[in-house]
Amino acid sequence: MEIIVASSVGVLTAGGVYLILRLRTFPVILGLALLSYAVNVFLFASGRLAINMSPILSKYGDATYTDPLPQALVLTAIVISFGMTAVLVMIALGAFLEAEDDRIDLDLVGEDDINGEDAGK
């Protein structure tokens, strides 16, 4: 169990980091999505791995339970990263339509400004 969780966090993070270093916006968005999956699994594990246990204290006292707080944290993190991904996709689309190019780096606007007028195509 531990090895599965640990290696999935590791693989997702490695893939995510590789993708956010790419030049085009779409791989970068995918990379950020992978990173957020990795962090969600990681947050789950931060409450210790426990299988088949309820997240509430049993009224019979000695029954073991799994920590409910990381589950609440993960829920918050999922909602936020989902919303953020949507915003990012919209901004990336806006940038693509505006510049007709999906490169993530900036043109050197200072040079363009000095040589000529507004950095038009």
Partner 1 sequence: MMHWIILPVVLPALLAPLIAFVMRYDIVLARTASMVGSIGLLVISIVLINFAAGGETFVYRLGDWPAPFGIVLVLDRLSALMVFLTSLLAVIVLIHAIATGWDARGRHFHALFQFQLMGICGAFLTGDVFNMFVFFEVLLIASYGLMIHAGGRQRIQAGLQYVVMNLAGSTLFLFALGTLYASTGTLNIADLAVRIPELPEGEAALVRIAVMLLLIVFAVKAALFPVQFWLPNTYANAPAPVAALFAIMTKVGAYAILRVHTISFGPGIEATQDIAGMLLFPAALVTIAIGAFGVLGARRLMSLISFSVVGSMGTLLLAVSSFSQTATSAALYYLVHSTFAAASLFLVADLVVSRRASDSLTPKSPTVQNGLYAALFFAAAIAMAGMPPLSGFLGKLLVLDALRDPDIIGWTWSAILIGSLLTIVGFARAGSILFWKSTATEPQETDPNPPHPATAWEVAPTMATISLLALLAVFAGPASGYLEATSAQLFDRDGYVSAVLSAEGGE
- The CA-CA-CA angle for residues 8, 11, 16, to 5°, reads 120
Least Å from the CB of residue 117 to partner 1: 8
Residue placing its CB nearer to partner 1 in the complex, 51 or 87: 87
* Per-residue burial over 92-103, b = 16 or more CB atoms within 10 Å of its CB, e = otherwise: beeeeeeeeebe
CB 109 within 8 A of CB 119: yes
Token readout for 54 is: 């309820």
Q: Which residues bind partner 1 (CB under 8 A)?
A: 16, 20, 25, 28, 32, 35-36, 38-39, 42-43, 45-48, 69-70, 73, 76-77, 80-81, 83-84, 87-88, 91-92, 94-95, 98-99, 104-107, 109-111, 113-114, 117-119
Least Å from the CB of residue 39 to partner 1: 4
